[in-house]
Amino acid sequence: MNNLAEKKDLHELDKSIDIELEKLKMKKKEKDEIMNALHQYNDIKDATQEVLGRLAILEGVTVAEMHRKYNLLESD
């Protein structure tokens, strides 16, 4: 194989690697966004459970009763 052909092959390989790298970066960005959303969801869920627990104490009922009162799934 001559030098020019080798350079062309290397250039094509370099372009292919760059394209694959960009795809991987996009997948990581998407994964990071999903993880962020899950963390936010869990923070909100935790705060909601704390509020429900305090309301249950104030009303003298169980948290399960508060879930039923507000039509919430007890597993949420």
DSSP class of residue 70 equals: T
Domain locations in the chain as residue ranges: 3-69
**Low-confidence stretches of the chain (pLDDT beneath 70):** 1, 75-76
Q: How buried is 66 (Cβ within 10 angstroms: 0-12 exposed, 13-18 middle, 19+ buried)?
A: buried
Beta carbons of 56 and 62 less than 8 angstroms apart: yes
What pTM does this model have? 0.65
- pLDDT for 1 equals 64
- pLDDT for 74 equals 74
Instruction: Encode 45-59: b = buried (16+ Cβ within 10 Å), e = exposed.
Output: eeeeeeebeeebeee
Beta carbons of 19 and 11 less than 8 angstroms apart: no
- pLDDT for 75 equals 64
- pLDDT for 4 equals 87
- pLDDT for 76 equals 47
